[in-house]
């Protein structure tokens, strides 16, 4: 076993850029691992091999993280890959907010303390038709805070078909119990009628909750209840309706050949007293949870003590403001990456996939084939966007091996395997990433 000083000295020779403190801590960990493994392992590695292992651990520790990757999966709002990409306008605003002081909570006119709520509230009201708006850390937080602030200790009827798990452990029944609201199951998994809600309403009912079932579809003998009807029922009993849209969208998806995803404006117009949605799904902005609706209710959520713990930071607010400006200016479809990806033409995608194919060596069988892309992020379940993909096959490599080899490229390229074929989708790859992707294919 080499002395720690000897190992550190060798690490420094191999990689002088590694800070001494990191070299020391990683060398100690390496020697600890070695000592623990001694009983059941064979020969001692030599000092050089140990030093190389320490350098690798140190480099992993010091590498940029989260590491950039190329998303060639065809899933536009890919939660594991960081969801929506920001527009240039949003990135510029975010940098500006990061670099200098701002009037985040300062009223420049009066010289007094201001509110961080004002920055995006007016734009959100302008775009959605709501009276008031509030932005918090994410939509899971928004749903939780609305329930905790407005329904703690009281009943909330939820359709059995909407008591769903969204993913990442976000389960509607759990969120209700965490917020101390009491879940009243209504109707059945596939059918819930207005009469079911009416029967569930009692003196202790706080809210009627509707949840977008995001990541699954119930098909067959089903019956949806128009939001207007639920809101009319709520009105009769003076009970507000809260609508968790999940993704939500400000633009009509049907103009891109997709099924209609409910828009935030429709939810507000139908009479939902509160509508919640994410900032980084179809909106195409930063991670955020957006609450729009009735002034008294939004103010009550804003005043709830825990709301402070889930507040949006200045970088988020700056990026969100710039993203919303693109909608107000009518340029969201050309500026916001999520919408550019949805709108990309098959002809353009085909041309790019063919350029990728040309980079592959003769040992590969590459073909541009019709394939489907998806919006993802819990919007439009079951919906696909007709698209193309580059299918790569090789007599020497399985699809799993091809996928692993491209994940090992720098930056990693993430594709998908479908029907035992390895596919790369151009729809989710930015044009400026084509060069890096082609280099990765050349390296196969």
CB neighbour list of residue 35: distance below 8 Å, 6 or more residues apart = 1
Q: Rounded to the nearest whole angstrom, what is the least distance from the CB of residue 340 to ligand PLP in the complex?
A: 21
Contact window for ligand PLP (CB under 6 A) among 11-19, 146-154, 208-216, 401-409: 208-216
> Contact between 138 and ligand PLP (CB under 6 A)?
yes
The token duo for 48 is: 């050089």
CB neighbour list of residue 7: distance below 8 Å, 6 or more residues apart = 27, 30, 31, 47, 50, 51, 54
> Contact between 139 and ligand PLP (CB under 6 A)?
yes
> Contact between 26 and ligand PLP (CB under 6 A)?
no
Contact window for ligand PLP (CB under 6 A) among 139-147, 194-202, 303-311, 421-429: 139-147
Beta-bridged to residue 71, according to DSSP, are 414
Binding mask 104-123 for ligand PLP (x = CB under 6 A): --------------------
CB neighbour list of residue 233: distance below 8 Å, 6 or more residues apart = 194, 197, 198, 201, 208
Q: Rounded to the nearest whole angstrom, what is the least distance from the CB of residue 166 to ligand PLP in the complex?
A: 4
CA–CA gap between residue 170 and residue 244 (Å, rounded): 13
Cis bond before residue 423 (omega within 30° of 0): no
> Contact between 320 and ligand PLP (CB under 6 A)?
no
Binding mask 228-267 for ligand PLP (x = CB under 6 A): ----------------x-xx--------------------
Q: Rounded to the nearest whole angstrom, what is the least distance from the CB of residue 244 to ligand PLP in the complex?
A: 5
Contact window for ligand PLP (CB under 6 A) among 24-32, 114-122, 210-218, 383-391: 210-218
Beta-bridged to residue 75, according to DSSP, are 374
Binding mask 368-397 for ligand PLP (x = CB under 6 A): ----------x-------------------
CA dihedral 342, 346, 351, 356 (to 10 degrees): 60
C-alpha closest to that of 294 among 313, 257, 330, 267: 267
| Residue in 161, 262, 289, 399 binding ligand PLP, rule: CB under 6 A | 289
CA–CA gap between residue 171 and residue 163 (Å, rounded): 7
Q: Rounded to the nearest whole angstrom, what is the least distance from the CB of residue 316 to ligand PLP in the complex?
A: 12
Closer CB to ligand PLP, 378 or 415, in the complex = 378
If binding means CB under 6 A, how many residues of this protein chain bind ligand PLP? 15
DSSP state of 401: H
Closer CB to ligand PLP, 87 or 214, in the complex = 214
Q: Rounded to the nearest whole angstrom, what is the least distance from the CB of residue 330 to ligand PLP in the complex?
A: 25
Residue 144 sits at the vertex; the CA angle it makes with 139 and 148, to the nearest 5 degrees, is: 150
Give the nearest residue (CB) to ligand PLP: 246
Q: Rounded to the nearest whole angstrom, what is the least distance from the CB of residue 224 to ligand PLP in the complex?
A: 15
Binding positions for ligand PLP, 140-169, rule CB under 6 A = 140, 143, 166
CA–CA gap between residue 244 and residue 268 (Å, rounded): 12
How many of the other CB atoms lie within 10 Å of CB of 215?
A: 16
Binding positions for ligand PLP, 41-100, rule CB under 6 A = none
| Residue in 10, 184, 212, 321 binding ligand PLP, rule: CB under 6 A | 212
C-alpha closest to that of 144 among 174, 165, 184, 115: 174
Helix (H, G, I), strand (E, B) or coil at 93: helix
Q: Rounded to the nearest whole angstrom, what is the least distance from the CB of residue 276 to ligand PLP in the complex?
A: 7
Closer CB to ligand PLP, 58 or 140, in the complex = 140
| Residue in 27, 58, 151, 211 binding ligand PLP, rule: CB under 6 A | 211
CA–CA gap between residue 433 and residue 428 (Å, rounded): 10
| Residue in 26, 53, 170, 357 binding ligand PLP, rule: CB under 6 A | 170
- Distance between start and end Cα atoms, the chain: 39
What is the number of helices (H) and of strands (E) in the chain? 17, 16
| Residue in 26, 57, 275, 278 binding ligand PLP, rule: CB under 6 A | 278
Q: Rounded to the nearest whole angstrom, what is the least distance from the CB of residue 141 to ligand PLP in the complex?
A: 7
DSSP state of 171: B
Q: Rounded to the nearest whole angstrom, what is the least distance from the CB of residue 310 to ligand PLP in the complex?
A: 10
Residue 113, class by beta-carbon neighbours within 10 Å (0-12 exposed, 13-18 middle, 19+ buried)? Answer: exposed
Q: Is the dihedral of CA 17, 21, 26, 31 positive or negative?
A: positive
The site for ligand PLP (CB under 6 A) is made up of 138-140, 143, 166, 170, 211-212, 214, 244, 246-247, 278, 289, 378
């Amino acid at each position: 076993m080499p002395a720690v000083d000897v190992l550190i000295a060798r690490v420094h020779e191999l990689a002088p850029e590694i800070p001494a403190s990191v070299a020391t801590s990683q060398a100690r960990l390496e020697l600890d691992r070695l000592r623990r493994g001694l009983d059941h392992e064979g020969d001692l590695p030599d000092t050089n091999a140990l030093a190389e292992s320490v350098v690798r651990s140190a480099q992993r520790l010091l590498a940029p993280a989260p590491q950039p990757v190329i998303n060639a999966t065809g899933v536009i709002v890919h939660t594991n890959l960081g969801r929506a990409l920001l527009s240039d306008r949003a990135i510029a605003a975010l940098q500006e907010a990061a670099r200098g002081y701002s009037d985040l909570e300062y009223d420049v006119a009066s010289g007094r303390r201001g509110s961080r709520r004002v920055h995006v509230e007016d734009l959100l009201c302008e775009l959605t038709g709501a009276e008031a708006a509030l932005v918090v850390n994410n939509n899971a937080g928004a749903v939780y805070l609305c329930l905790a602030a407005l329904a703690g200790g009281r009943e909330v009827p939820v359709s059995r078909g909407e008591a769903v798990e969204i993913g990442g452990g976000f389960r509607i029944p759990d969120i209700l119990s965490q917020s101390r609201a009491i879940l009243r199951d209504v109707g059945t998994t596939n059918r819930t009628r207005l009469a079911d809600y009416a029967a569930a309403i009692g003196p202790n009912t706080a809210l009627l909750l509707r949840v977008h079932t995001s990541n699954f579809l119930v098909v067959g003998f089903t019956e949806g209840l128009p939001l207007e009807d639920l809101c009319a029922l709520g009105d009769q009993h003076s009970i507000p309706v809260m609508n968790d849209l999940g993704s939500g969208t400000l633009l009509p998806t049907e103009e891109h050949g997709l099924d209609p995803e409910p828009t935030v404006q429709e939810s507000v117009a139908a009479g939902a007293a509160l509508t919640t949605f994410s900032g980084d799904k179809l909106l195409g902005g930063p991670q955020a949870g957006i609450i729009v609706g009735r002034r008294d209710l939004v103010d009550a959520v804003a005043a709830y003590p825990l709301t402070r713990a889930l507040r949006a930071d200045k970088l988020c607010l700056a990026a969100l403001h710039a993203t919303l400006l693109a909608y107000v200016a009518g340029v969201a479809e050309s500026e916001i990456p999520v919408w550019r990806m949805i709108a990309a033409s098959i002809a353009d995608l085909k041309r790019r996939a063919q350029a990728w194919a040309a980079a592959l060596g003769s040992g590969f069988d590459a073909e541009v084939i019709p394939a489907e892309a998806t919006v993802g992020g819990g919007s439009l379940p079951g919906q696909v966007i007709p698209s193309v993909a580059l299918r790569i096959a090789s007599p020497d490599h399985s699809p799993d091996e091809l996928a692993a080899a491209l994940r090992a490229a720098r930056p990693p390229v993430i594709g998908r395997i479908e029907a035992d074929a390895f596919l790369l989708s151009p729809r989710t790859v930015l044009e400026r990433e084509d060069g890096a992707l082609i280099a990765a294919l050349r390296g196969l």
